[in-house]
Structure 1
Amino acid sequence: MYESSGCELLQDANVYQPDLLDLNSNVQAAEYWFPCFRDMIAKFAEHAEGSQSNDDHTAAERAAQYQKDSLKKMSDYHDKLKTNAGKNIKLSIRELLDLNERQLRRFGFPDTWRKQKQEENAVAIQLLQKRLQEIDTIESTSARWTELIRGVLAGNMFDWGAQAVANILANDTTFGLHAALEHIQKRPWLMDDLDSWLSRVQGKAHKCALIFVDNSGVDVVLGILPFTRELLKRGTKVLLCANTEPSLNDVTSSELNAIIESCTCHCNVLAQAWENKSLVVYGNGQRGPCLDMRNLPLKLCEAIHKYETDLLVIEGMGRALHTNLYAKFNCETLKLAVVKNKWLAQYLGGDTFSVICRYETS
Structure 2
Amino acid sequence: MTAARATAAGLEARVVVRRGGFTLDAALEVPAGGVVALMGPSGAGKSTLLGVLAGLAPLDEGHVALGERTLDVAPGRRTPPAARGVVLLGQDPRLFPHLSAGENIAFGLRVHGVSRDAASRGAADWLRRVGLEGLGDRRPSRLSGGQQQRVALARALATAPEALLLDEPLTSLDTETAGDVRALLHQQLAATGTTAVVATHDAVDAVALAGGLVVLEDGRVTQSGPVRDVLANPATRFAAAVGGLNRVTGTTDAATWRAGGLVLPRPAVPVGAARAAVFRPGDVRIVDAPPAGPWEWTARVVRLEQTPAGVRLRTADPDVAVDVVAERATGLGVGDAVTLRLDPADVRFVSAGDGGVF
**TM exceeding 0.5:** no
Larger radius of gyration: 2
- Larger RCO: Structure 1 or Structure 2 (Cα < 8 Å, ≥ 6 residues apart)? 1
TM-score, L = length of structure 2: 0.25
TM-score, L = length of structure 1: 0.25
